[in-house]
Amino acid sequence: MSHCHDEHCDHDHDDLPESGEQFLLYSKIDLDNVRCLNEAEPESIKKVIRPWNERFDDGKYTESDADEQLIVFVPFTGSVKLRSICLRTDRTESAPSKMKIFINHDAIDFDAAESQKPVQEFELVQGSNDVIEYGVKIAKFSNVKNITLFFPENFGEDTSIIRYLAFKGEWTEVKRDPIITVYEANANPADHKKVPGTENQMGHSIQ
């Protein structure tokens, strides 16, 4: 089951096959560096980001600690053109009711999440056991290196629960330019007579 819960979202993904795995970015997430603020069980957010065929595993979830707010930071291993965010929360009032999205920020805390303008935000579906797919404005998510999701409130409980989180889109490897050191023609030590005692110095010098 998938839904687009933003009246302004791009609808070109409606033409894609209905397979849940279509464009799934699970393998392109830098899972070791995923982190969550205010989770009751440390590292539990990493259990929430898992393969599509495990999306209904109720034994794996993350729950907030001090209050209902959660911040989830997810880095990718390349550049992503994001199409949608897939969420399965909870059938109780512990389900988050809002989600604010920030991209390409390495460290957003709760103060920053409250004060900064998100790239996009959603009112979330309540009381569903399905994975709900929220289509994003693709033009604003064309070069995503990392994404931060802020869940500021839920439907009434003291803590919030997220059971599954996934992303769909297109991944591109980020190619790093090779480091090329340019030496002047006369800077090659081999072209010069060696002065006794300077061999080690010359080996590590660039003129």
CATH numbers and ranges of domains, the chain: 12-172 (2.60.120.470)
- pLDDT for res 1: 42
The ranges of the chain with pLDDT < 50 are: 1-19, 192, 195, 198-207
Among all chains, which residue has been given the structure tokens 């010098």? 205
- pLDDT for res 51: 96
For 29-176, strand residue ranges (E) read: 35-37, 62-63, 70-88, 98-103, 120-123, 132-135, 144-151, 161-162, 164-172
- pLDDT for res 206: 38
- pLDDT for res 187: 55
- pLDDT for res 182: 60
3-state DSSP call for residue 90? coil
Rg (CA), the chain: 23
- pLDDT for res 174: 79
- pLDDT for res 99: 98
- pLDDT for res 175: 77
- pLDDT for res 114: 96
Structure token digits, residue 82: 């994001």
Pairing of strands 98-103, 164-172: unpaired
- pLDDT for res 3: 47
